[in-house]
């Protein structure tokens, strides 16, 4: 845990990271207020029955919470993620790490742990707090009926964080310059989203969606939270596409995170 | 008594892509725990860096075996690395870190507990002369300071073997002297074994006890510099005026051998125990006027040039022929 400890310290020395992390707590706080409201019927007396029906803490509520936090996580990963790997490559520090009892995989895992840990603070941890708040206010019966929402949220977020972490690491392994690497990791999602939409339009198909990792993760979330999925390929195809993305990103990291570059 | 070699290579072959860089090297370098330095010499492209990187486990041997401190470079790399310090040739650091944090992290990565790592970081930074600037970020350091910081990170965990890749590259004469003194102290005072890779022959000659010369991925010369210094390769370059025809016959009187190069110039090999004063006495008895007398040994440069094929014989060998 030596590398994550030092990386964590360096990470929170950046003011922008702290500011963005704090900003990412606004939405969970609003959601907490919402949960409080839905569990206090006396406060909802004057509202229309349809509206009272609409504001329920269910899969749809958690999916909306997850969308917003997922977007925050994208920006946080693009801002802080490359700073963990790019400086090591730019300063040629990898030979120093790998001449010690540290393998390439343990180095990559340590960096990934830091990114996933940092993003967990604004994703599944506040999500679990909201879930616990709802259980506390609604009672044990709500937990028994909806525990899958909590589990689905944690699993869904972890899948998203894995993708974000690998994209941030792969882009910084390629670009080496922190700011550009951040821009590349943002562009990765926007460009793939655009490409998938273009394929769907040009060929009049829906399978192009799976080329957009954000869409694929969203499709998995819909299944995990039991909400209506968007039109397009099923959860199986989305999982296969995500697995392919992950393998590709791991291959990029494996290729670039080497102590010495061999010119063949 | 432990006679484990610091580096032991058995028919080591390394391929990078389709190109074979090291062609079956076999040798034993140094003796573990003796505090000796081994120099690795060779022209550019000889395979010095490839050999070092293979020993560190960065390249995989395509055949043969490499052992460091008795540990196989593939099977026991983790354990071996905790006992090695490595100073790379190029700039290698984390610019945003202060020197003390950088060293502490590196020491912890090598297995030292956090508190001990911090103490060692301070101690080593003072030792290499960076004590006053240890709280400065590494990116603000001058080139010479960065070299010292690289050396500091290589020795912060007290390794048994320190691998130095071109340690004096780009240093001014004062910094170079300081670096060589630190290397000499490391082996003399702390008993560390040192493997120095350099193209600066004077540096190797100054700090090393053994030298290996690589050419085209093979060892072309392996010499024990300590023995070379003690050996009878001491010779005299002599220039005299007068009739020197009898000098050759007279040299055995003092146990020496020599060869005339014409025009009164001689190369004379002195056996062990015979001092240069004997030549003065001999030339006086032969009524020769000494115009020039140089007492020297084969330098590492001459040994190197011979190994590279640029010299048929070193001056000492020429004198002995």
Query: What is the overall mean pLDDT for chain B?
Result: 85
Q: Which residues pair with B12 in a beta bridge?
A: B25
Residue A148: what pLDDT? 92
Instruction: Return the residue in A100, A106, A261 with the most chain B beta carbons within 10 A, the one to mutate for interface testing.
Output: A100
Same domain for B299 and B239: yes
Same domain for B218 and B90: yes
Q: Do the Cβ atoms of A264 and B19 come within 8 Å?
A: yes
Query: What is the overall mean pLDDT for chain A?
Result: 89
Q: Say which CATH number the domain at B282 has.
A: 3.30.70
CA dist A185 and A171 (Å) reads: 6
Residue B232: what pLDDT? 45
Same domain for B34 and B179: yes
Whether A85 shows a pLDDT value over 80: the answer reads: yes
Cβ atoms of residues B100 and B121 within 8 Å: yes
Read off the pLDDT of each residue in B209-217 and give the average, rounded to a whole number.
88
Same domain for B314 and B260: yes
Same domain for B262 and B215: no
Question: Which chain B residues contact residue A99 at CB under 8 A?
Answer: 56, 81, 84-86, 163
Domain end (from B226, B250, B272): B226
Q: Do the Cβ atoms of B16 and A262 come within 8 Å?
A: yes
First to last CA, chain B: 40
Question: Which chain A residues contact residue B90 at CB under 8 A?
Answer: 92
The domains of chain A are located at: 2-256
More confident residue, A247 or B275: A247
Domain end (from B208, B226, B244): B226
Residue A4 belongs to what H/E stretch?
Answer: helix A2-11
Question: Which chain A residues contact residue B95 at CB under 8 A?
Answer: 87, 91
Give buried/exposed letters for B155-165 (b at 16+ CB in 10 A, else e). Answer: bbbbbbbbbbb
Q: Greatest CA separation found in chain A?
A: 75
Same domain for B248 and B124: no
CA dist B298 and B210 (Å) reads: 15
First to last CA, chain A: 35
For B107, which residue in chain A has the nearest alpha carbon?
A100
User: How many A/B residue pairs have CB atoms within 8 Å?
Assistant: 74
Read off the pLDDT of each residue in A233-243 and give the average, rounded to a whole number.
93
Q: Which domain holds residue B307?
A: 229-320
- Output the six-digit token pair for A128: 């679990």
CB atoms within 10 A of CB B28: 16
Q: How confident is the model at residue A219 (pLDDT cuts 50, 70, 90)?
A: very high
Same domain for B93 and B203: yes
Chain A: give the shortest CA distance to residue B58, in Å: 7
Q: Name which of A162, A166, A204, A203 is nearest A188 in CA terms.
A: A166
CA dist A31 and A66 (Å) reads: 11
Whether A37 shows a pLDDT value over 50: the answer reads: yes
Q: Is B291 helix (H, G, I), strand (E, B) or coil?
A: strand
CA dist B72 and B60 (Å) reads: 12
Read off the pLDDT of each residue in B12-25 and give the average, rounded to a whole number.
89
Question: Which chain A residues contact residue B101 at CB under 8 A?
Answer: 6
**Burial (CB count within 10 angstroms: exposed 0-12, middle 13-18, buried 19+), residue A44:** middle
Whether B163 shows a pLDDT value over 80: the answer reads: yes
Chain A: give the shortest CA distance to residue B225, in Å: 29
Q: Do the Cβ atoms of A91 and B91 come within 8 Å?
A: yes
**Number of domains composing chain B:** 2
pTM (2 d.p.): 0.80
Q: CB of A100 within 8 Å of any CB in chain B? A: yes
Chain B: give the shortest CA distance to residue A264, in Å: 5
Q: Do the Cβ atoms of A264 and B110 come within 8 Å?
A: no
Whether B249 shows a pLDDT value over 90: the answer reads: no
Same domain for B106 and B215: yes
Task: Please give the ipTM for the structure prediction.
Answer: 0.81
Percent of chain A having pLDDT more than 90? 54
For B79, which residue in chain A has the nearest alpha carbon?
A101
Q: CB of B188 within 8 Å of any CB in chain A? A: no
- Output the six-digit token pair for A95: 């030979």
For B146, which residue in chain A has the nearest alpha carbon?
A91
Domain end (from B226, B257, B285): B226
Whether A110 shows a pLDDT value over 50: the answer reads: yes
Read off the pLDDT of each residue in B11-16 and give the average, rounded to a whole number.
91
Whether A262 shows a pLDDT value over 70: the answer reads: no
Q: Do the Cβ atoms of B109 and A2 come within 8 Å?
A: yes
Q: Say which CATH number the domain at B68 has.
A: 3.40.50.300
Q: What are phi and psi of A40, to 5 degrees?
A: -125, 85
Same domain for B184 and B77: yes
CA dist B187 and B32 (Å) reads: 12
Read off the pLDDT of each residue in A31-43 and give the average, rounded to a whole number.
85
Q: Do the Cβ atoms of B18 and A259 come within 8 Å?
A: no
| Least confident among A71-75, A129-133, B69-73, B259-263 | B259-263
More confident residue, B274 or A177: A177
Q: CB of B113 within 8 Å of any CB in chain A? A: no
Q: Do the Cβ atoms of B93 and A96 come within 8 Å?
A: yes
Q: Name which of B128, B129, B132, B136 is nearest B152 in CA terms.
A: B128
Whether A59 shows a pLDDT value over 80: the answer reads: yes
Same domain for B157 and B121: yes
For A1, which residue in chain B has the nearest alpha carbon?
B109
Query: With a CB-CB cutoff of 8 Å, which residues 244-263 of chain A face chain B?
Result: 258-260, 262
CA dist A109 and B179 (Å) reads: 36
Q: CB of B246 within 8 Å of any CB in chain A? A: no
Q: Do the Cβ atoms of B53 and A260 come within 8 Å?
A: yes
CA dist A107 and A4 (Å) reads: 9
Cβ atoms of residues A2 and A114 within 8 Å: no
Residue A220: what pLDDT? 94
pLDDT digits (tens, 9 = 90+) for A113-130: 999 999 999 999 999 999
**Closest by Cβ to B96, choosing from A2, A87, A97:** A87
- Output the six-digit token pair for B118: 């911090």
CA dist B158 and B57 (Å) reads: 20
CA dist B78 and B76 (Å) reads: 6
pLDDT digits (tens, 9 = 90+) for B57-110: 888 899 999 998 888 888 888 888 888 999 998 888 887 889 999 999 999 999
pLDDT digits (tens, 9 = 90+) for A195-217: 999 998 998 888 888 899 999 99
Place of tokens 């010479």: B144
Q: What are phi and psi of B30, to 5 degrees?
A: 65, 170
Q: Do the Cβ atoms of B94 and A87 come within 8 Å?
A: yes
Q: What ranges in B56-113 are assigned the alpha helix state H?
A: 77-82, 99-109
Whether B250 shows a pLDDT value over 50: the answer reads: yes
Cβ atoms of residues B28 and B224 within 8 Å: no
Chain A: give the shortest CA distance to residue B180, in Å: 21
Whether B233 shows a pLDDT value over 80: the answer reads: no
């Amino acid at each position: 845990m030596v590398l994550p400890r030092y990386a964590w310290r360096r990470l929170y020395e950046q003011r922008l990271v702290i500011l963005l992390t704090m900003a990412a707590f606004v939405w969970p706080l609003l959601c907490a207020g919402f949960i409080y409201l839905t569990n206090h019927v006396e406060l909802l007396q004057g509202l229309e029955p349809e509206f009272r029906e609409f504001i329920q803490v269910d899969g749809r509520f958690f999916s909306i919470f997850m969308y917003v936090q997922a977007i925050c996580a994208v920006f946080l990963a693009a801002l802080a993620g490359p700073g963990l790997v790019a400086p090591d490559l730019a300063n040629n520090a990898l030979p120093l790490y790998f001449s010690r009892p540290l393998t390439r995989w343990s180095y990559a895992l340590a960096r990934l742990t830091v990114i996933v840990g940092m993003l967990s603070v604004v994703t599944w941890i506040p999500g679990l707090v909201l879930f616990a708040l709802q259980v506390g206010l609604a009672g044990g019966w709500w937990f028994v009926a909806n525990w899958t929402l909590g589990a689905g949220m944690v699993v869904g977020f972890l899948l998203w964080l894995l993708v974000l972490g690998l994209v941030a690491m792969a882009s910084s392994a390629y670009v080496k310059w922190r700011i550009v690497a951040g821009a590349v990791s943002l562009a990765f999602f926007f460009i793939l989203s655009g490409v998938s939409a273009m394929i769907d339009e040009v060929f009049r198909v829906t399978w192009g969606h799976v080329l957009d990792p954000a869409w694929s993760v969203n499709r998995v979330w819909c299944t995990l939270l039991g909400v209506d999925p968007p039109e397009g390929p099923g959860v199986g195809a989305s999982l296969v596409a995500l697995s392919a993305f992950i393998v590709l990103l791991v291959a990029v990291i494996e290729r670039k995170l080497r102590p010495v570059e061999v010119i063949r | 008594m432990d006679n484990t070699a610091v580096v032991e290579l058995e028919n080591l072959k390394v391929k990078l892509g389709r190109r074979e860089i090291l062609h079956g090297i076999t040798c034993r370098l140094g003796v573990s725990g003796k505090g000796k330095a081994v120099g690795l010499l060779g022209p550019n492209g000889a395979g010095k860096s490839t050999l070092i990187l293979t020993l560190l486990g960065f390249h995989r041997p395509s055949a043969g075996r490499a052992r460091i401190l008795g540990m196989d470079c593939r099977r026991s790399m983790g354990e071996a690395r905790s006992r090695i310090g490595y100073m790379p040739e190029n700039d290698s650091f984390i610019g945003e870190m202060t020197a003390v944090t950088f060293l502490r992290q590196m020491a912890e990565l090598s297995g030292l507990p956090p508190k001990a790592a911090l103490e060692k970081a301070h101690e080593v930074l003072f030792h290499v002369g960076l004590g006053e600037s240890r709280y400065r970020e590494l990116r603000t350091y001058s080139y010479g300071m960065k070299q010292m910081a690289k050396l500091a990170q290589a020795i912060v965990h007290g390794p048994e073997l320190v691998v130095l890749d071109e340690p004096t590259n780009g240093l001014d004469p004062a910094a170079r002297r300081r670096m060589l003194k630190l290397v000499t102290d490391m082996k003399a005072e702390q008993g560390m074994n040192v493997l120095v890779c350099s193209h600066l022959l004077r540096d190797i000659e100054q700090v090393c006890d053994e030298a290996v010369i690589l050419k085209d991925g093979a060892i072309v010369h392996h010499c024990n510099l300590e023995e070379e210094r003690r050996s009878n390769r001491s010779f005299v370059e002599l220039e005299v005026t007068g009739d020197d025809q009898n000098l050759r016959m007279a040299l055995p009187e003092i146990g020496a051998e020599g060869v005339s190069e014409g025009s009164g110039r001689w190369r004379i090999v002195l056996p062990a125990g015979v001092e240069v004063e004997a030549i003065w006495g001999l030339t006086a008895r032969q009524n020769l006027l000494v115009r020039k007398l140089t007492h020297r040994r084969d330098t590492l440069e001459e040994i190197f040039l011979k190994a590279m094929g640029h010299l048929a014989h070193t001056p000492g060998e020429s004198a002995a022929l």
